[in-house]
Every structure is written in structure tokens, then in C-alpha cells.
Structure 1
Amino acid sequence: MKKTVAALALVAALAGGAARGQNIPEQTVEVIPDLTSPDQLKDPSGILPDDPIEPFLLTKQNGPFMVLAKTFRGPDSDRLALALVKELRQEHGLPAYILRTKDWPGRSNIRNIPPQADPQVARASVNVPEKYRTYDEAAVLVGDEKTQEAAVKLHHKVKKIKPKCLDEVSSIFPWREGLSKAIRTTNPYAASQDLYPHKVDRLVVEMNSGDGSIARCPGQYSLQVAEFTGRATFNEKDSAFQGHLALLKSPLRTAASDAEKMANVLRKDKDVAKLGQPIFVFHDRTSSKVYVGSFNAPDDPQAGALRDALLKLAVPLIDGKSRSKTVDTMIVPAGALTDLAPIKANFVK
């Protein structure tokens, strides 16, 4: 098998010898062989598995540090990937999974599919018309490693594997053997900010030290009803964003106090109090948010009832009739509960 051998070093040596007037001996430079012509590629000759692929699909719980072992394209990509996954599991004892483009089209704006969807949405399902707009591709990912160091060791191990199921699979790169081109990666369903260690922001901790902080919420989920933040624009020449005085007029300056004020009004409102749910606030460097309720499951039926009740109270809370205090900004209950785990991570050293 021929490969390029230290091409740059050889060119430099020849140039240096020629400059000194030395006789350069004849040397043979090996080159990479030609690619296999597409019309010479053959269909897989082995028997491919017909097992259901769903139990082998990658999920958000796998990983997060993994190794991308192989990618298959074409009409047989699913079954080729399944054959490799089964061999890696049975022959090598490695946790292997399949990620298909049709399940996770990260390069497209597909409805309800990560990463465009809410963080709570993580499923391998694409309906029409999207599934007809994605091509056949299936990647095999290996590993459930929790650290990068463990993923490095796994990477070295995977690169040495030469699966039997690949022996009868044609490739346009005839010099590539087994899984020698495997690379390290991460589970694409896992948010990058959750993968790597982070330092606690002391300012954020200090801003959320009050009794009504979301850090004190006993549940894992809560319902966001308002967010106070700064301005945004697509116009770089917008006068509202020019100069130091523009910063002094930014609504971000009063975001924290606005959120606290709304939370206090909600706590004292008799109709909100009847709902029996606590009120929380969360402040960071870019916004302040108001939450209502404490839940332990994202699909808690009580959360749906709470959202419906708050929707009915949105107008009365800002209208002022029969109320001693009203909110200055209308509450807008979110369509889904917020997972508080990433937020509470800000307070864990």
C-alpha cells in the first residue's frame, strides 16, 4: 500500500543539497493510490441485519464524550451501520450507537428537532415533508465516556479495530482499513455548555442570594412567565445603541429590579396565591427572569393547569381593576417547563 512519505522534508533536503552544489541521489517518492472509481463500487456482498434499528439509536443520555467510528451513506446506510454497531457490541464489548441524518438534521431548519427545538425535545423522529428532504446517512458513535481523558483512550482503541463486517464493503478510499480514521467527538444531543467544567460566576451567585431566588426552588422544573433584558437590533447605526449615554438608558439596567417587582406583586395577588405555587426569580449578566411553580417532571399535569390559570390572569394583573397592585409588564407563561438543572449549576462550586 503506497502512501506519501515525508514530502515536505524531502523537498527541503533536495533544495538544500542543490544550493550547496551536491549531487542528489535518485530517490523514489511513494504516492497515494488513485481513488476507486464510483462505477467500480460494488454493493455489500455480506448479509446485512434486518433487526429494528430503534433500540440502537443514539439518545441524549449516551456519551457525552464519544468516538465517531464510521459514517455510511446511501440506501444501505442504516443496515451497514447496524451491522457495525452489533459487531462492536458483541465482539469488542463497546457501547455503540447510530445517529442518522434524518433523525438529527443539524444543518437544516427542521421543525421540533434539536438543536433548533427546546432543550426538553430530544427524539429520533422526523415526519413528512422533512423526512423526504434528508439524504440517507448513518454514523456510528462509540462510547459512554464522562471525561475527555477516557475518550482519548477509547479513541486509540477504536482506531485499531478492523471489523469483519467492513471487509465486503467497497470504498472510494482503498487504502483506508477498518476504523483507522475514527475521530473523537461529543454527543450532538448534549449542549456544549454542559460538557466542560465551568467556574462559578460570583456576581451571578451574589445577585441570586435572596429568599426568592430560583436556587431555592425544590423542584427540577418551573414555569417561566416573564423575562427582562436589554435591547437588540440589526441596525448597527441605530442611534439608540450609540455612545455611552445609550447604555445608561438600556432596560437591562433596571431588569433585576423589574423582575423582583413583578415577583413581589405576584406573591401578594390573591388570585395567584390561590394557585398554591411559589414565585422565583433568576438574574444573570444578560437578563432577569420570573418563574412560577415547582415541579419534578416536565409533563406534570399540574403545570398545565397552572399555565392555563396564569393565562387567564395575564390581562387582569396588568389592568388594575379590583387590585391594589398591578404588574407593569404582562406575564407570558411559556409553552413548556424550564429545566432548572443548568441554572442551578451556576450556584454549585
Structure 2
Amino acid sequence: MTLSLARLSLLMVVTAGIVMADGGTAQAAPPWARLSLFRRIEAQPGQMYAIDDSNGPWMVMAATFSGDHAEDEARELVYELRKKHKLDAYTHRMTFDFSQTLEGRDSNGDLRRMRYQNGGAHDEIAVLVGDFESVDDPRVPKLIERIKFMKPECLSDENPDESSLVLAGLRTIQRTMTLKSDDEGDQFVRNVKKDMGPMAGAFVTTNPLLPKNYFVPDGVDDFIEKINSDLQFSLLDCSGNYTIQVASFKGFSIVDPKTIEKVSHEETSSNLAAAAESAHRLTVKLREKGYEAYEYHERSRSIVTVGGFAQLGSQGGDGKFELDERIAAIAKTFGADPDAVAAGTAQPKSLDGIPFLPKPLVMEVPRRSIAADYSGSRFGR
């Protein structure tokens, strides 16, 4: 459904009020607000405690198991971590398919198709610990260190020939080593801390069930998403990673409190609404002419873009970067003469009396905050 200009203007008026009021947005409750001081860790011996998308998003990979007894051993470790050590421990089953052929090169550099020596599907079960909102949480390194030196009873009788713990044999060898040096003083034994336990390889990781773009920089805030979500040609709906900004219409952005006192609310609202209306009209006109045009509204301006591209270009045979021809064509179509731009005498092109930028700009497509969506569902917001 196309957002009417009347409603869009109303949203711009609301935006102006926010800018002039210089007020902060409502802050979500901090993560610790939902925690009980006496929270109990559930520990049932028969449970796998498989992770879901409510866990994490940052966790610690404690161990991985493979083989016929992997499930039993992972379950025992999770139970012990929960029961004895009071840690939120989970399991996650991973399947690796090595049956596919790969392209490689032989000793002569010729292309050849290759297969893994041990093909087929391979299952592993990972044991992950913790639910952290940020990788920078100060508790993360402390937990990693704790797990590295932990010696769970269920892994105490670990036999490298029989254990399902991945790299168990290597860890056993490492634990028997002490620091030594050759005549030149070069260290050739890496494991200085011989008291580390069977989970010495613990490291921080992410919840594998969350989408990759969960961990990209934060998306647009709630207000910006609201004023763009109902647009028929919203830039938030562009599937590409990059787009070309061909027009920009500034409203009335005020940061000086003294200036705020001199400028009326109506004047500010009018500027923002006019900018939004110009962007909307230009987007519709471009769509009518067959261009993939989008509009996008911020607190102090509105912009129009054309196109959506997965990447900006590729590396040519000579090693030089080659810009996507479609991007170059858009810049040429809507931009002013490059020589005139360089000389500062460029006359911008226009459509229906609405001007384009003299020099179109490449920009990343803004995204909705997927992390906020998951966070909201986890915390009950």
C-alpha cells in the first residue's frame, strides 16, 4: 500500500518535534533487568538442552563430540556443567557433508576435480555455554579461562582411543608436555599451562541458529523504520547491498538550542514535509519511467536512490577493480557533466522540476534491525 503524502507529511511533523525537543528515545530495559538474583539453572540428566534462537547471541564453545557415543557424552557434559558448575550449557548438532566434489589444481597448476579422502556426511555435537548479549561482556574471557582449566568428572577417564571428544588425543599429549627450549632458546612446546583440562580449546563463538546479518552493525532505529515501513518503494525493502543515491532533499536539522528558540515548529515541520514530498514524487516519476527507484526518509532529510546491487564490481584479469557497468550507467544518466562538477559549474539534471545530485553517490542499503527483533522476542518486548 502506498503511503499517502498526507500521512508522510504528518510523520515528518512528528520528526520535527523530536528534533526540536532534543529529547531522547525510550531506552529498552537492560539485559540484567530480566534476571533474578536467585535464578536456578535447570539440570535434568536425560535432557540434551538443544539451543534455539533465544540463546546467546554470544556463547563459549566448550567441546565437540563425534562418533557413536557423541550424543551420550555431550549430554553428560551438559548435565555436569549445569548441575555442578551452575552454567547455562547447551548442545547443538552439526552435520558436515564431504561428499561434494571440489575444484583444485594439481602439481602442474592444471584445474582438476577433487573429492575428500573420507567422504560422506559427518555429524558432530557441540557443547556451548553461556548467554551473552555482547562479545565485549567482561564475563566472557573469565568464563573461557574457567572452562579451559575445568576437569569435568565425565571426561576424567578420557581414553584418546575411545573418547568421542574431538582432538582428545592431541589434548592428552599436550597435557604431558612442559616448556622446553633448544640451544637457541626457541620454544618448541606451545602448551605452557600443563594444568589445563580437556576443554582447553574453549573459545567464544556465536549462536549458529541466528542469521548472519544478526551480527552486522545495528540497523535503523525504531522511528526511522516506522516512517519508512509503509512506503510502496521503501529503500528498506531493497534486496541489494548497495544502491545509488541520485537525489537528496534536506529538511531543517537543528542542533543549537539558541537557534531552536528562533525557529518556529511550523517552519521546521514544513521544511521536512516538503523534502519528504519531493523525494516521494521523484521516486514515483522514476518508477513510471522504468527505473528501480526507492525513497528513504531520515530525521533531517529525504533521499531517492536507484538500483540494488549485491556488490559494486569485481576484480578484472589485470587485478584492477572494475565497477559494475550498471552502476556506472546510473551515475552517467543522472549525474551532471563530470568536468563541470570538477570545475564547480555543474548544472544538475532534473525530472518534473525536481533536481538530481550533480554527482550520484554509492551507499549501503540501510537495514531493519534484525538483532532488535530477536532481542525483543527473547526479552518479551
Fold shared, TM-score > 0.5 on shorter chain: no
Compute the TM-score of the two structures, normalised by the length of structure 2.
0.37
More relative contact order in 1 or in 2 (CA 8 Å, sep 6+)?
Answer: 2
Compute the TM-score of the two structures, normalised by the length of structure 1.
0.40
Higher strand residue share: 2
